[in-house]
Amino acid sequence: MTRLLTCAFAVALILPPAAFAGEPSTSDTQVKVRYNDLDLRDRADAAALLHRLDKAATEACGASDASLREYQLAVQASACHRRSLERAVAALHDPNLSALAR
């Protein structure tokens, strides 16, 4: 059975990093995160999924691997990123993942 998580993330409009101080305008987008290769009972695998979810939230909120590092950090510190990651973790209902996310 293939496991695939499609999380709805709030996406910030493309704004300069200073714009993240307030509440950015948002719309919904989805980023697929595969985890069929992971056993969430294993702490290392749960940490790997948390990393994937973090990366997906960063992407959904407007930054990518190609973005300037400063912009990536601003997105990762944004309310958009925090809410997106929280919703993704909650959607999985996994105690190990939830504990790591705290």
Residue with tokens 């993704």: 88
**CA 19 remoteness from chain centre:** 19
pLDDT digits (tens, 9 = 90+) for 18-33: 444 444 444 477 889 9
Cα 24 to Cα 20, 27, 46, 98, distances in angstroms: 6, 10, 30, 26
Give the bridge partners for 7, in sequence order.
Answer: 31
Average pLDDT of adjacent 10-residue blocks, the chain of 102 residues: 52 39 55 93 96 94 91 94 94 95 92
- End-to-end Cα spacing for the chain: 29
